[in-house]
Structure 1
Amino acid sequence: MSERILRALMQLFAIGASLERLTLQSRSVVEAFLRQQLSLQRIPEYLELFDQHLLALQGGEDLTKARKKLALSSVKALRICTEINKELNTSQKYIVFIRLVEFMHSSDSAITEPEREFLETVATVFNIEQNLQQLCLALAQKNPDVSTLEDKSVLCVRKNADSVTHQYHQLQHADLDQTIWFLNIEPAGMFFLRYTGKDILTVNGKPVDPEKVSVFTQGAVLRGQKIQALYYSDVLNFFIDKKEIRPIQLRAENLEFKFPNGKTGLHSLNITSNSGELVGIMGSSGAGKSTLLSVLNGTSPVSSGKLLLNGKDVYKEAGVLEGMIGNIPQDDLLIEELSVYQNLFYNTKLVYGKDSDEEIRVRVMNMLDSLGLTETAELKVGNALNKTISGGQRKRLNIALELIREPAVLFVDEPTSGLSSHDAENVMDLLKQLTLSGKLVFVVIHQPSSDIFRMFDRLLILDTGGYPIYYGNPSDSLLYFKRQAQFADADESECPACGNINSEQIFNIIDQEVVDEFGNRTGIRKISPKEWYEWYKKKTEQENKSALENAETHASGNKANYFRQWRVFFTRDFLSKLSNKQYMAITLLEAPLLAGILGFILRYTNPGEAYSFTDNPNLPAYLFICVIVALFLGMTASAEEIIRDRKILQREKFLNLSRQSYLFSKIALLFIVSAIQTLSFVLIGNLIFGVQDMLLQYWWVLFTTACFANLVGLNISSGLDSVVTIYILIPFLIIPQILLSGVIVKFEKLNPIISDPAEVPFVGNVMASRWAFEALSVYQFRENKFERDFFALDAKMSEATFKKDWWIPILRERTDKSERLIGKGASTDSLNTILKLVYNELTKEQKVNSRLKLLTLKTNDAGKPDMSTIQTMRKDLENLKDFYIEQFNSSSEKKEAIIEKMTSSPDGQREFRERKRDYYNESLDQIVRNSSGMERLRVYKDEVISYFEPVFRVNPSENSLKGMFFTPTKSFFGKTYDTFTVNIAVIWAMTILFYFALVWDVLRKILLFGSRWKKR
């Protein structure tokens, strides 16, 4: 209270004193009031000021002058009350009023009419209800009249309860010598207490003056040598409307928790907490407070024991209790890019998804208004480095996210950490108000002030090692530990001077250490955690409460369906990204900048010549880097998506929302981002590089690749716990995509352990880069405007060339070798071994060219090969050679005819040259035809493996999914499809596989299993 207010109050008290017959007792009322506001040293200063004002109002011995001044007193009182009314809080107004009432009652005679008018003036300015005015007047009488206290705002504590029905509440207390009256000052959240007996009673360690009204504030406790302690919460329970409160009970029975490594995190816990209680959880660092909270809220499954909420097992009957438990962790759960209103609005839409937007808006605004956040509704939440709202406002908003769905039980972890004392008290006041509406609130707290400490109805203290050592009323906790530790002042819990409780003193007692003969600490505690724990068990056995049976359970909210959840998740994520200017700038500019740089660097021209697409040797590099960029963009875009939301997901876990709706929202938004990025990349890159008429196909391949990378990124984002680890891992994921793509190192040149000469090895087939690069390369070569008219003929010519120039000679060589061995009398097995290659290849050839009648196949089962067999083989090979020579010549003539037709005119010749210059690329031609490869074929497992011009190998029997690189077609379930379509389908299949891995959180489960196995 400011000095100006105190000076004004002294003047007000002086006006009141001047209206009555001043006595020493009246002056003591002022002194008692000042003791509550000031240190003892400053009280005489203000008493002297009071005396000066009083002397001036009384006018000394001149009675005529005194009467004139008294006539002005009510006007002056009105002015003073109006001035100080703006600065006094509600409780201070009531305290000032009750002290003024005591003034009027300090003399033996009744209150005069001027005095009553004075009090009414003060009460009117202070907005004190008429009913409470009268009750204050009655309570402050020297001997309160019972008939004047007949009101539902009064509690009467007496030795024998009256059998007569009264409006006031009654509480029987057998050891009382006189009645204790409690007046509920509901607007101020406190009570006025009046006791006129002779027993010595104390409130918060201060004696109760039987001549005056005492203030009984939140957390206060009334004690006496002959009576059992009476707590603030006990008194408050009489004034709570039980009809509007649903009974809630959380009961822990022998609850234990052990970590995966077998270490006990929480020893057997037995507690019972009921609706309307604010339960504090305290303990030293590492004692297991957060572990206890996660056990009680159902996050961490217990090792043994039961956790019952209204008689239902929290772990086994979670479906029945859905929505009843809320959790507010210590860390922020806010989306920093959204405003205060948006954070709460979209959270509310998840809870009340079936309500209209207008209904939700009203609900949100009411919540913001109740928490004092209306003015900050449109402010962006920001983060620790870019604050736009205060720490206290952030805490209140975090609380609002849970309060909006009205959970019956709320768990709050360190709500006051990092806050100023003022903000901390505001947050705790908010939590305390929740208990008045019947909520059960658990709060983990560290070093609370005395005011905050008194707010708790119950206190649970944990000692090092997860030992529970106290559960009871906070005001009794210090007494309990002092008595157990055999302190001399074991009957004192509050400071005698100020009435405060120092919670740190509790831990000083718990952690007391033994000292050696030199007075040095030994590090050995006087009382071990296990000893405190044993005393706790005895105490809880004596105080065992009955369980609440068959209590109602209810779900809060009206949860949105899967689609509405998806829409909320998507909108919330979209708006957060849209409001992040830095993210938007990088996302939209990254791809076109990379495309511009790539296209510019790789746009090679011969010095002094115009740019020619056909002569640019960098097209294969461009295609490959396009694929790698798509992978990089996809992974980096998604790498933080889930790990950034992990805390929010932990809270929303209590809403039992659909994980698939959340994942679909992430995937949908990332796919849109990838679509925009890859489209801008292809537009800029192809324009600069000179790739024409293939925009859609390039975009489709790169978009598909980026989508695959999105899912990979989401998996690592879900599985790992550190952003740094994720970005370290990305290169380890990209490098294999580069190395095993078939571009840097040919698949047949890899380590023989992982490679296969006949097909793309498994390590290559699991790389998306292999499928994407092949799709782009084959499509660019096969479908460009120059080659597509000749591709079918080129394929036949290529096949004929390979067969007549490479394949037939290798078979003839085997035939000649067999002939020599027959002449030497070689065995049947050795001959069959040599000729097996011929039989295998001719068998395959017969399947392809069924119109050919290969007589050699009829001799395969005739027994030992002889000279007639060799002659048959040679005849078949000669026929095959003639066949393929004819095929080559025929295809060549047809191609020449097409070219001749296209170039029959000068315009046609020019168009032909321009088409080749703009669409055909020699470098890509060499890559897909393997022109630079020295090895045309290889004999492997009695088969001829062709490396000759794979892009022209259209033989369906050869082109399975695991076939050679760059083949133009693939066979799947007996049907042939073009490579572009199949490769896209394979990448999407891999993407879907990673989606299911994400849904089941496979990576996280593998890592958790690995860590547990390692600990064992």
Structure 2
Amino acid sequence: MSSKDSEHVMEIIRGMAHNKIIVVTIHQPSSKIFQMFHKAMLLDKGGRLVFFGTPSEMLRYFAEAEHQHQFGAELGACPSCGTTRPEFIFDVLETPLRDLSGDVIYEENSRGQLVPSRRYSPEFWRDKYEAFRLIQDVKQVSLRQEPVAPLPAAPAERKRLPFRWHDQWTQFRTVLRRAFISKLRNRANLVITICVSPVLALLIATILRYSESGTYDFASAYHIPTFLFLGLIVAMFLGLTNSADDIIRDRAVLQRERNLDVRLSYYVIAKTLTLAVFALIQCVLFVLIGNYVLEIRAMFWIYLGIMFMTAMSGVSLGLLISSLVADPKTAANIVPLVLIPQIIMGGALIKYEDMNRNLALLYALSHWFSEHPSTEKSKKMESKLQVPFVCQFVAMRWSYDEMVLAQAKLNPLTHRQDRAQREIDRIVARHRQDPAESKRLEDLKETLALLSGIEAKSVGELDRYLGLVDQILDRKRPFDRALFKGAIGPITAEQIYVNQKVSDLISNAEMEQSDYRRGNRPNVFFGAQKHYFGIRISAFAFNTAVLIVSTFGLLALLHWILRKQLEVRRS
């Protein structure tokens, strides 16, 4: 390649070096091409760094070094001595060793060839550069400590650079792609990440596949609440372990990109999205296998949504841990400290009614400030199913509450029963009914009675009957008993969709919440409604909001911590 072609190539590369770091090696650059580099790094034998800076600084540095070694003094007023040839640097670096007569002394290299002996070893140049850099750092500190001249009275406003959407999108896309590639690069870790979820699902579901009757069926399955809780624990665990060391590995990259003004928010978003994809895959595999083994039907998407929100809570906690420690082993040791409280205070391993009641802050304060607390009154007013205050900060408490409620209230049978009952209550509450509403009320009552004991010969036939019920509830057709004339058989909807252990948990919570002895309806564990400031909120909506807001809150805290850390290191 000619020298002119080399200049054209360098011009193209300089044009590409926008918000990028481009490393270029070139053979025998001319003076003009050498000056086109923004920074130049010079490595001696063994990879020893002997200079890093601009080309002009490098030429001046070695010119001063040559003059100092020849004359024993610094160069003074003429820093570069008019020297602009890049080859001059290597001449100084490999200055030959001479004897008293001025002849070059030769030595034998590793290949058995005679080569000129170097006057100064690579270690000498490395130590010299480190001393030079230390002196420069001291000078910078001295300049900072000098009094700064007062600013002019009317400083000119700094013109803000326009926000370029294309550049920002390119920057974000690059960061996101790098995050995905980083996860996919370690094949062994990738296989373990993908395989651990189905293995745990198969193990847990197989062990918990038990019914008191001896023959397994979903209605009498004893361990469905336990399976739901363990599934959430697995989601939290996988989210924590997938993210607990991610930022530790990227600290050098973060510092470098911060110096290049790469937006830190793009890094946090890209890292979160990457981990979210892997968490979603793991949750899908767990729910598919676990539901298949335990014969949990028509709950895939609901289970997946709640498990995924729990996994993202674990991801945000893991990233936060990774930002606060400097060693992967330390991060791995902290994971149990985060996970074990989730297990203990999640509401399944230790029931809240069996937990230390002084954990409930309001309960403890009321007893602290009450001079003569009435034990009988406290028993009447206090529900054992109320969640202790400290447990409100545990994500597992909200996700497990929502998971059990979803299984009890959103299964195909109970969901349709509740829907029919709500519409019946609305019609009855109006008191005045026209003939059409009276007919609608009768249809709904017939539908509700049908749902209470609907049967079929197979699961597919049962789903077909439930589809007809949906048409009645949607007002697409009136109720007709003839449509369900063949709805008899060995399979019932309750046997397929309703688990007795889950129903018992919900019934107990509803009785506690509707106890007439209390003036208000307390917020109890597994309660379908939450009451805050006189407002009634659906537990599904409230728990979902808590999980999402807490996850975004942790990610915002992560962004703030990283920004502060990078600002300290930059200064």
TM-score > 0.5 by shorter chain: yes
Secondary structure in 2 aligned to 1:643?
A: helix
The answer to whether residue 501 in structure 2 is matched with residue 923 in structure 1 is yes
The counterpart of 1:632, out of the listed 214, 226, 237, is 237
The answer to whether residue 323 in structure 2 is matched with residue 718 in structure 1 is yes
1:793–1:894 contact (8 Å) kept in structure 2: no
Q: Distance in 2 between matches of 1:767 and 1:405?
A: 57
Secondary structure in 2 aligned to 1:786?
A: helix
1:566–1:665 contact (8 Å) kept in structure 2: yes
Residue 612 of structure 1: aligned partner: 217
Residue 563 of structure 1: aligned partner: 169
Residue 500 of structure 1: aligned partner: 119
Q: Counting helix residues as a fraction of each chain, which structure ranks higher?
A: 2
Secondary structure in 2 aligned to 1:977?
A: strand
Q: Distance in 2 between matches of 1:504 and 1:792?
A: 82
Q: Which amino acid aligns with 1:910?
A: G
Alignment of 1:333-352 (within 5 A): 352=18
TM-aligned CA distance change 1:717 to 1:440, over 3 Å: farther
* C-alpha distance after superposition, 1:241-296 (max 9, x if no partner): xxxxxxxxxxxxxxxxxxxxxxxxxxxxxxxxxxxxxxxxxxxxxxxxxxxxxxxx
The counterpart of 1:762, out of the listed 385, 389, 392, is 389
Structure 1 residue 995, shift from structure 2 partner: 1.4
1:720–1:1004 contact (8 Å) kept in structure 2: no
Greater relative contact order (Cα < 8 A, sep 6+): 2
Residue 69 of structure 2: aligned partner: 475
Secondary structure in 2 aligned to 1:987?
A: helix
TM-aligned CA distance change 1:752 to 1:406, over 3 Å: farther
Q: Distance in 2 between matches of 1:952 and 1:772?
A: 23
TM-aligned CA distance change 1:902 to 1:914, over 3 Å: closer
The counterpart of 2:203, out of the listed 597, 603, 618, is 597
Residue 965 of structure 1: aligned partner: 525
1:578–1:584 contact (8 Å) kept in structure 2: yes
Residue 409 of structure 2: aligned partner: 782
Residue 804 of structure 1: aligned partner: none
2:454–2:488 contact (8 Å) kept in structure 1: yes
Identity %: 25
Secondary structure in 2 aligned to 1:592?
A: helix
Alignment of 1:742-891 (within 5 A): 742-755=347-360, 756=363, 757-758=382-383, 759-791=386-418
TM-aligned CA distance change 1:669 to 1:910, over 3 Å: same
Secondary structure in 2 aligned to 1:1001?
A: helix
* C-alpha distance after superposition, 1:445-503 (max 9, x if no partner): xxxxxxxxxx84557xxxxxxxxxxxx966279899xxxxxxxxxxxx97746471469
Residue 584 of structure 1: aligned partner: 190
Q: Which amino acid aligns with 2:487?
A: G
2:513–2:524 contact (8 Å) kept in structure 1: no
Q: Distance in 1 between matches of 2:554 and 2:398?
A: 16
TM-aligned CA distance change 1:589 to 1:439, over 3 Å: farther
Q: Which amino acid aligns with 1:918?
A: I
Q: Distance in 2 between matches of 1:688 and 1:678?
A: 15
Q: Which amino acid aligns with 2:233?
A: I
Structure 1 residue 622, shift from structure 2 partner: 0.4
The answer to whether residue 490 in structure 2 is matched with residue 908 in structure 1 is no
The counterpart of 2:543, out of the listed 964, 983, 988, is 983
Q: Distance in 2 between matches of 1:405 and 1:648?
A: 26
Q: Distance in 2 between matches of 1:476 and 1:719?
A: 52
1:678–1:702 contact (8 Å) kept in structure 2: yes
TM-aligned CA distance change 1:607 to 1:665, over 3 Å: same
Q: Which amino acid aligns with 2:550?
A: M
Q: Distance in 2 between matches of 1:594 and 1:646?
A: 32
TM-aligned CA distance change 1:923 to 1:438, over 3 Å: same
Residue 663 of structure 1: aligned partner: 268
Residue 370 of structure 1: aligned partner: 26
Structure 1 residue 746, shift from structure 2 partner: 2.5
Q: Distance in 1 between matches of 2:35 and 2:550?
A: 41
Secondary structure in 2 aligned to 1:370?
A: coil
Q: Distance in 1 between matches of 2:225 and 2:73?
A: 82
Q: Distance in 2 between matches of 1:561 and 1:929?
A: 57
Give the paired residue count. Answer: 411
* C-alpha distance after superposition, 1:561-587 (max 9, x if no partner): 433221110111212323332232122
2:453–2:492 contact (8 Å) kept in structure 1: no
Structure 1 residue 615, shift from structure 2 partner: 1.5
TM-aligned CA distance change 1:1003 to 1:593, over 3 Å: farther
Q: Distance in 2 between matches of 1:441 and 1:738?
A: 64
Secondary structure in 2 aligned to 1:970?
A: strand
TM-aligned CA distance change 1:895 to 1:629, over 3 Å: same
Secondary structure in 2 aligned to 1:976?
A: strand
2:211–2:222 contact (8 Å) kept in structure 1: no
TM-aligned CA distance change 1:716 to 1:618, over 3 Å: same
Structure 1 residue 682, shift from structure 2 partner: 1.0
Q: Distance in 2 between matches of 1:907 and 1:561?
A: 65
Q: Distance in 2 between matches of 1:474 and 1:725?
A: 50
Aligned CA RMSD, in angstroms, stands at 4.8
Alignment of 1:8-47 (within 5 A): none
1:952–1:967 contact (8 Å) kept in structure 2: no
Q: Counting strand residues as a fraction of each chain, which structure ranks higher?
A: 1
The answer to whether residue 546 in structure 2 is matched with residue 997 in structure 1 is no
Structure 1 residue 589, shift from structure 2 partner: 1.8
The counterpart of 2:248, out of the listed 639, 643, 656, is 643
Q: Distance in 2 between matches of 1:790 and 1:729?
A: 46
Gaps of 5+ in 2: 4-12, 29-33, 75-95, 106-117, 128-134, 143-162, 364-381, 423-428, 432-444, 456-480
TM-aligned CA distance change 1:571 to 1:951, over 3 Å: farther
2:417–2:448 contact (8 Å) kept in structure 1: no
* C-alpha distance after superposition, 1:749-801 (max 9, x if no partner): 33333224453232111111011001110110112233335558999xxxxxx
TM-aligned CA distance change 1:767 to 1:650, over 3 Å: same
1:478–1:505 contact (8 Å) kept in structure 2: no
Q: Which amino acid aligns with 1:745?
A: I
TM-aligned CA distance change 1:710 to 1:496, over 3 Å: same
Q: Which amino acid aligns with 1:922?
A: Q
Q: Distance in 1 between matches of 2:36 and 2:293?
A: 55
2:510–2:527 contact (8 Å) kept in structure 1: no
Alignment of 1:348-427 (within 5 A): 352=18, 367-368=23-24, 370=26, 407=38, 422-424=45-47
TM-score normalised by structure 1 residue count:
0.36
Secondary structure in 1 aligned to 2:503?
A: helix
Alignment of 1:296-335 (within 5 A): none
Structure 1 residue 907, shift from structure 2 partner: 4.7
1:701–1:776 contact (8 Å) kept in structure 2: yes
Q: Distance in 1 between matches of 2:35 and 2:309?
A: 41
TM-score normalised by structure 2 residue count:
0.60
TM-aligned CA distance change 1:438 to 1:736, over 3 Å: same
Secondary structure in 1 aligned to 2:217?
A: coil
1:613–1:918 contact (8 Å) kept in structure 2: yes
Secondary structure in 1 aligned to 2:221?
A: coil
Q: Distance in 1 between matches of 2:124 and 2:170?
A: 52
The answer to whether residue 331 in structure 2 is matched with residue 704 in structure 1 is no
